[in-house]
A and B are shown apart, each in its own frame.
Chain A
Amino acid sequence: MTNILTVRDLHIQARHKHGTTEIVKGIDLDLKPGEVLGLVGESGAGKSTLGLAAMGYTRDGCRISSGSIRFRDQELVGASASTLRHLHGNSIAYVAQSAAASFNPSHRLIDQFTEAPLEHGVRSRKQAEADAIQLYREMQLPNPEEIGFRYPYQVSGGQLQRAMTAMAMSCKPDLIIFDEPTTALDVTTQIEVLAAIRKVVKEHNTAAIYITHDLAVVSQMADRIMVLRDGHMVETAPTEEMLANPKEDYTKSLWAVRTLHRETRPRPEKTPLLAIDKVTAHYGEFKALDSISFDILPQRTVAVVGESGSGKSTLAKVITGLLPHSPGGEIRWQGEALPPRLQDRDKTILRDVQMIYQMPDTALNPRHRVRDVVGRPLTFYLGLHGAEKEERLRSLMEQIELDPDIYLNRRITELSGGQKQRIGIARALAAEPRFIICDEVTSALDQLVAEGILKLLLKLQEKYGLTYMFITHDLATVEAIADDVVVMQHGKIVEQGTRDEVFSPPHPDYSARLLASVPEMDPHWLDRVLAEQKIDLLENN
């Protein structure tokens, strides 16, 4: 069978201030019609660049320096803009990571759907709209006849991602590039999107390149997996073979990330460090937290788990005092009631409770240097100056495993995501706190980097006897780090207990669904889960 896409010795360069850097270094790739290829790697591995190059497109500042990209028998390297324009959307389509950011918010979904078929002249408006409804139905969107007439902000994230896939299918392309289409979604939503994408791709016999850093996801979707690192191909093999028997060390290390596991520690009989007692909180009229009660014991890690909208981040806001809770409940710190409002709390409490954020890019002021960020709590809480402060700064940098000589004077903008997250940890540590709230601290990071951060947090916990509250939707993280687990949904606690209690059956419905939705590195996992859900549905009806 002839290839639909053939890439030979592809080199792509990126231009910057000091010259050029090669970001794709000689990659060969073959894709047969109807085949789904998974591209896996950390950020910076060049997977998105390669994915875009498969369309004959490079980002601003990048250029294809040598090599060939053939789509069927057409050379895309050096092809004219009009040739490419004819192919894009028509024969090759692209599904972006964030559908919410990729749709034009001021046009209805169906108008954006029909744009490409009309532009390429392959469909009349009527036909294109009929196609849209058909595809919306295939993508299992609710109300396929109507949903197209809504605006992007009127549908949920998971639905948008499916609408976007439908849009990519609008001209019946031969090749679709999926660039991390489910990364921004909750696990429970992700499952629906994955199932829908896989079904449509299979039924239309479309070839696809599926880019992701999540191995479990790619093993559901791809026929074959290619692992990239620093612009090189590490290895490629059919999915089953790749999962069962990775050959290269790097691939093995990627595979091993999901196996970090904390020893079960006995629950000590101590007074809780932080007790949350019937706490309710509102955003205006909306009840975001509904009578939440649980204890956080000293030197333990409590994981708060739930989908977005379940109230986990609100809980962090309430504990820190950013959002005062409604009268009635109480938060007790070592047995004493905390004032609900941040302004009324004294400095020792502020110092004891620190926070690490989800997005390292926004958690640190881009105008500051590392020295300013980490040094401020030292001056503010501990009154350190001069040589004393310098010494503390250096020892903190060593704690977070960054060389003080190199990094202390760097600007925040000169750091990578993982390094920024480490600086965030240093800032929290600088206050010498007793309790740290970690708000999805690893979800914006690659798996290998995330593992490093988790290990660091565990090490620091041992060393300083810290207590953590870990907000996450990733159950692999819970497995890796938590002692106790609290499962939340719609602002209420669904289940709580030690990790082993929560992870072993019987589960309340919601916990069961959440646990079942976490992708596993088994190529048959999705089929199995979908089959189980179908049975559930049949039984319920």
Chain B
Amino acid sequence: MLRFFKTTPPTALLGLFIILSVAIMGVFAPFLAPYGETEVVGAAYMPWDSVHLLGTDNLGRDMLSRVIYGARNTVGLALLTTAIAFTVGATLGIYAALKGGWVDQVVSRAVDVLMAVPPLILALMLLAIVGPSIPNMVLVIAVIYVAPVFRLARASSMNIVVLDFVQAARLRGEGNLWLISREILPNITSTLVAEFGLRFCFVFLFIAALSFLGLGIQPPTADWGSMVKENATLITFGDITPLIPAAAIAVLTIGINFVVDWMLHKASGLKD
């Protein structure tokens, strides 16, 4: 354990610390938060004091409590969304690389179409069609992020499927499931894990952005993106409270990037 702290770069340790803190905040939100998520505890826009450490928001809800609950909602949903995008994208990507031919062509072109439309516009359009709700938002973002994951998984699998051990498994008569999960996936895991970190950041920012635009997580659920929107007017009075959830977004993003950089560095096999 001590060895781990010695050999890991400080930035990665900081990143891990941030991620861990946010995770704990999310999981134990009801115990950590001084007030309830949607509980109105005072007047609107109260300044920072000893009772409400970060003051209150536009409806008089405790800001600190909502930042803590926001970790649960924003980060939890981002995690779920990224997980769905990766499961679908990676499976499709490896499958396309494995099969090649028309299967690969059909899936790849479909993904190209998906990638041709700017993600935010596509998301707004799809959400306008299916209506803004949390499950819809998760699915829409997952679909959008299947595309880059597919591309990556396909490209890295392409290098693996041509290797003899995959051919050996094919000759043995192994099914697709074995080929994908036992022969190819273990060899591209490090790439995918690093990508997972990065994509998680994007998804998380995306959710925050959608929430800010009012199409993501709906009130009264606490969420860092919509909290910025709800309290944005305070900025004009020189109050930095709306920047707190924004800062939370920034800190988590940076933390994840630190960890991802470290993992990529390790996976690449480069020495310092």
Contact = CB atoms under 8 A, between A and B. Distances in A.
Interface of A: 60-61, 320-322, 342, 345, 347, 350, 353-355, 357-359, 362-368, 376-377, 380-381, 427, 431
Contacts of B165: 362-365
Interface string B217-233: 00000000000000000
Given A60-B271, A367-B186, A362 B173 contact: no
Q: In which size bucket is the chain B interface?
A: 10 to 19
22 contacts: A61-B271, A321-B171, A322-B167, A322-B170, A322-B171, A342-B170, A342-B171, A342-B173, A350-B172, A355-B168, A355-B171, A358-B164, A362-B163, A364-B165, A365-B165, A365-B182, A365-B183, A365-B186, A367-B186, A367-B187, A427-B168, A431-B172
B39 interface: no
Interface in B74-95: none
Contacts of A322: 167, 170-171
A320 B182 CA distance: 22
Given A366-B187, A367-B186, A357 B171 contact: no
Contacts of A355: 168, 171
A347 B175 CA distance: 12
B239 interface: no
B6 to A, nearest CB: 15
B187 A363 contact: no
Contacts, number: 48
A380 B164 contact: no
Contacts of B167: 322, 357
Interface string B166-200: 01101111100000001100110000000000000
Contacts of B186: 365, 367-368
Contacts of B168: 355, 357, 363, 427
Nearest to B162: A362
B173 A347 contact: yes
Interface in B226-272: 271
Contacts of B172: 350, 376-377, 380-381, 431
A431 B169 CA distance: 12
A362 B164 contact: yes
A25 B182 CA distance: 43
A357 B183 CA distance: 17
A359 B173 contact: no
Nearest to A366: B187
A362 B173 CA distance: 19
A61 B271 CA distance: 10
Contacts of B182: 365
Contacts of B170: 322, 342
Given A347-B173, A362-B165, A377-B172, 11 more contacts: A60-B271, A61-B271, A322-B171, A342-B170, A342-B173, A345-B173, A359-B164, A365-B182, A367-B186, A380-B172, A380-B174
B171 A380 contact: no
B161 to A, nearest CB: 12
A412 B222 CA distance: 50
Contacts of A381: 172
Contacts of A350: 171-173
B57 to A, nearest CB: 50
A206 to B, nearest CB: 36
A44 to B, nearest CB: 21
List of 5 A-B pairs having minimum Cβ-Cβ separation, nearest first: A367-B186, A363-B164, A357-B164, A350-B173, A365-B165
Nearest to A320: B171
Contacts of B183: 365
Nearest to B173: A350
A350 B173 CA distance: 7
Nearest to A355: B171
Contacts of A359: 164
A365 B173 contact: no
A363 B165 CA distance: 4
Contacts of B174: 380
- Choose among B171, B182, B183, B186 the residue with the greatest number of A CB atoms under 10 Å from its CB: B171
Nearest to A358: B164
Nearest to A363: B164
Interface string B64-78: 000000000000000
Given A60-B271, A357-B164, A359-B164, A365 B171 contact: no
A365 B271 contact: no
Contacts of A354: 171
A415 to B, nearest CB: 14
A317 to B, nearest CB: 9
A380 B178 CA distance: 11
- Choose among A347, A359, A368, A377 the residue with the greatest number of B CB atoms under 10 Å from its CB: A368
